[in-house]
Amino acid sequence: MYPKCAVSGLILAVFAALPARAQVTVDVTKINCDQFVHHKISEPRLMAAWFSGYYNAKRNNRVTNFCSDEKNFKMPVMKAIEQVLGKSK
């Protein structure tokens, strides 16, 4: 009985010592261009991907919806993106 309690106590102690991951909330409306381009908030390309997803979702430009239509199953994803979002220049 004693060894099981000791092992259980050790496992609990190890997990209790692990650092907790905190959630961070960022008000994106307050991020300025200096913070964006100089990596002061996050990696600019990651933020750009987030912004792109956010604004495309607001406009209901969802590639997933397009690709989920059975008639588009064989279409390459890159072509689907161009069709949904428009070709880039």
Using alpha carbons, list the distances in angstroms from residue 4 to 8, 10, 11, 18, 30: 6, 10, 11, 22, 53
* pLDDT tens readout for residues 34-66: 998 898 888 888 888 888 888 877 877 678 888
Predicted confidence (pLDDT) at residue 74 exceeds the cutoff of 90: yes
The DSSP 8-state label assigned to residue 69 in this structure reads: S
How much is the pLDDT for 51?
A: 87
Instruction: Give me the residue spans of the domains in the chain.
Output: 22-58, 61-89
- Which of 3-7, 29-33, 69-73 has the highest mean predicted lDDT (pLDDT)? 69-73
